[in-house]
Chains A and B, each alone.
Chain A
Amino acid sequence: MLDHIKIVYHQGKQFIPDIKTAKVPGIFRGRPEISLAKVNESELVDLCPLNAIMPDPIRLDLGKCSFCGECARQFPEKIQFTTDYKISVNERESLIVKEGVNEPLKINPDKISRELRNLFRQSLKLRQVSAGGDNSCEWELNASNNVQFDMSRFGIEFVASPRHADGIVITGPITENMAAPLQICYDATPGPKIIILVGTDAISGGIFAGSPAIDRSFLDRYHIDLYVPGNPAHPLTIINGILDLIGRK
């Protein structure tokens, strides 16, 4: 017992005190900034394995990007990744970063229902559904609740049943084999309920877009409340995105 107390004592407080201003260590590929420098556009567009870069004007779609950094490596004068991890948004178009427009990505408050903010601001229970996820986003969602990121301090928690949930968090490109279980899980969640997509695979299909083994028709049927990009999404992207969505300061 004494040994336990010793461990508790010297482990001290591990949580990140201010989740909104925490710095990520070393290099990190967060929000990209695209300059107006002239480069060979077709070369730049072609090099991206995820077809995330569009020409004229150059735009980079964070919903498709795998954050491999290859574009910035080959065209450093054009694209730079900043360490800004606050890149979750509630409108799909907001994930498209345009050249010369280097501003933080923002949640659009007008697109959030009053009901959502009134009900979920203090407590949000989520059911996670991995639908073809490669266990990287799942890993980061779990990390969001470890003693350092400690998301549950904000009343945001993952629950074991859709019956206990206020919404679902989808990871993965949504495989054909998971399409039906996902629908069942969503239907079993009592309303009002939200849908959060975490990771590039969930948002656009990622490298699996167009694979005959996936079925993304679920997403056509419902409104998506939050897009959390990343490959995988960083815990700080996840937590800040949800906090902004529910309007927690």
Chain B
Amino acid sequence: MTLFLYYPSDMKYTSIINNQTIPIGQIPLVSYDEFYELNAGFITDSPEKHCVNYFGYPIGERIKLICCIADDLTHEINVSTCLVNPQDELTSLTSTLFCFEKFEREIHENFGIMFSGHPWLKPVRYSHNRKDLSKTIAGYPFYSIDSDELHEVGVGPIHAGVIEPGHFRFICNGEQILHLEIQLGYQHRGIEALFLNKSKLAERVAISESIAGDNVVGHTLAFSSVWESLCGFQTSKEMNFSRTVALELERIAVHTGDLSAACGDVAYQLGNAVFGRLRTPIVNFLQEWGGNRLAKGLIRPGKNQFPFTGELATRLLQVLDAYEPEFNEMNGELFRMPSALSRFERTGTVSEETARSVGTVGMIARSSGLSRDIRLSHPHALYGEINHEPVIKHHGDVYSRLQVRKEEVRQSVRYLRDLMTRVPECNTNTQPMGQTQPDSFTLSLVEGWRGEICHCAITGTRGELVMYKVKDPSFHNWLALALAVRNNEISDFPICNKSFNLSYCGHDL
């Protein structure tokens, strides 16, 4: 096989850095057994490594599997690949390493590959192009329990509030939750297929903006970084500046809104109202800057669409000056109010061990003691210069998750204040983007407010997209929510759910 020309035959994987494009042939092709050993070996007893993406795509009749394991210490991502047949029965990585749980289910759902030893090889999202169309969302195989004492509670897909759909099936002993199963897929819009079917860059940007409308900056930035890397485009200082500012503003806005929602769920109306209103000046600033409160239209590949000017910097400082004391004052009240604390503390706990074993990422991981933050481990935009230190809490309960939010907001405000002292000169000269390189592989990681977003692209012989893979941080974290609520009262489910605030559409794609 010609592929063997590219690498020494004893190398079973290749290492890249964030936003790097490599020829697809540079990733060594190994047998599934070697692939299994290699990736299991990476994860086992190595807390600094985790799986950022694992997916398959068809090559003729066969399926190519690509696994990407990030190493937080070396700041590299180890990419390995193998070719399998859809009829193959493969040994499941999940049987010993739960962090692969959803990835293997997705590969099974899309291509029919069996993973022997997987504890629950159930559908993930009932995608329109799944292998077995006879399985439909209404027939999801829930776990149930045959017992006179226990009962089941089904919630959703449509929920009581104005939120996205998903089904939660609880098995309870009285008020106590013994088990929760979360079934998603209702939001599936065919995002990954659309990336291939739409040919204009502007269309693809519009898709990336709609992956998760509450994390527009994160996903648009991941798409833009992938595209720029594929085209060999170097981002300018001003572009990196704007993107860093936008990402931190998005983090402040959503975290503030989440604190408001958490107050609402413990019937603390003042906190609900004040945090709710404090989010407004932040999203309104995004609108002043780019014309949209959720930053749609702001980030574009190869362009600094809305340069961040000195006037905007002055304006942002005014906004932050007004925001900060009120944010701090409200937190001071909230976090010393016994009636609120009693609802937050020891509720919905995810131990550090669980958080690691299921492969949580982002602020959910950081709330359970894991230092997992792309801004530090695989820095992009200006994070290399910022010397970011992740906010880490150790209890893994609702309280910790709210504390992480509070402290991350303060940290982001500090970063923004610092950035405002060195706003780069506006340079509207844009270099042309160039063409996407043929037969290439690109991976981009962005630390959005929820956690790590990972987009991967693979191009064909003419530089056309043959695979686009999106992974929202929620893909890792939904299982942690299901485990967090065990042995809690079912009435605490809303506050647990809110403290995670995971994305349905980002998961369902």
Give the one of A29, A68, A172, A185 with max B CB within 10 A.
A68
> Does the CB pair A207–B210 fall under 8 Å?
yes
A26-B291, A70-B202, A175-B189 given as contacts; is B213 within 8 A of A134 (CB)?
A: yes
B344 close to chain A: CB less than 8 A: no
> Does the CB pair A135–B158 fall under 8 Å?
no
**Which of B10-18, B33-41, B114-122, B268-276 contacts the other chain?**
B268-276
User: Nearest B residue to A169 by beta-carbon distance?
Assistant: B162
Contacts of B297 in A (CB 8 A): 29, 67-69
A142 to B159, CA, bound (A): 14
> Does the CB pair A213–B206 fall under 8 Å?
no
User: Nearest A residue to B261 by beta-carbon distance?
Assistant: A142
A199 to chain B, nearest CB (A): 9
A80 to chain B, nearest CB (A): 12
Contacts of A212 in B (CB 8 A): 128-129, 190, 193
Size bin of chain A's contact surface: 35 or more
B417 close to chain A: CB less than 8 A: no
A209 to chain B, nearest CB (A): 10
> Does the CB pair A173–B277 fall under 8 Å?
no
A132 to chain B, nearest CB (A): 5
Quick one: CB contact mask for B206-227 with A, threshold 8 Å, 1 for yes? 1101111110100000000000
Contacts of A130 in B (CB 8 A): 158, 162-165, 187
Which one of A8, A47, A181, A201 lies within 8 Å of B270 (CB-CB)? Answer: A8
Contacts of A214 in B (CB 8 A): 189-190
B85 close to chain A: CB less than 8 A: no
A69 to B193, CA, bound (A): 26
A1 to B127, CA, bound (A): 52
Which one of B129, B163, B285, B289 lies within 8 Å of A138 (CB-CB)? Answer: B163
A122 close to chain B: CB less than 8 A: no
User: Nearest A residue to B296 by beta-carbon distance?
Assistant: A231
> Does the CB pair B206–A26 fall under 8 Å?
no
User: Nearest B residue to A188 by beta-carbon distance?
Assistant: B158
B497 close to chain A: CB less than 8 A: no
A140 to B279, CA, bound (A): 12
> Does the CB pair B214–A139 fall under 8 Å?
yes
User: Nearest B residue to A141 by beta-carbon distance?
Assistant: B162
Quick one: CB contact mask for B415-454 with A, threshold 8 Å, 1 for yes? 0000000000000000000000000000000000000000
**Which residues from 187 to 212 on chain B have a C-beta closer than 8 Å to any C-beta of chain A?**
187-190, 193-194, 198, 200, 202-203, 205-207, 209-212
B224 to chain A, nearest CB (A): 14
B486 to chain A, nearest CB (A): 26
B156 to chain A, nearest CB (A): 9
A178 close to chain B: CB less than 8 A: yes
> Does the CB pair A26–B288 fall under 8 Å?
yes
A147 to B270, CA, bound (A): 11
> Does the CB pair B187–A132 fall under 8 Å?
yes
> Does the CB pair A175–B187 fall under 8 Å?
yes
Contacts of B161 in A (CB 8 A): 142, 158, 160
> Does the CB pair A25–B127 fall under 8 Å?
no
> Does the CB pair A181–B277 fall under 8 Å?
no
> Does the CB pair B128–A213 fall under 8 Å?
yes
Contacts A/B (CB < 8 Å), 19 sampled? A26-B289, A27-B288, A29-B292, A50-B206, A67-B296, A68-B202, A132-B187, A133-B164, A135-B212, A136-B214, A140-B293, A160-B160, A176-B128, A177-B126, A181-B158, A211-B189, A212-B129, A231-B296, A232-B296
Closest 7 CB pairs of A and B: A26-B288, A136-B213, A134-B213, A213-B190, A160-B160, A49-B202, A213-B128
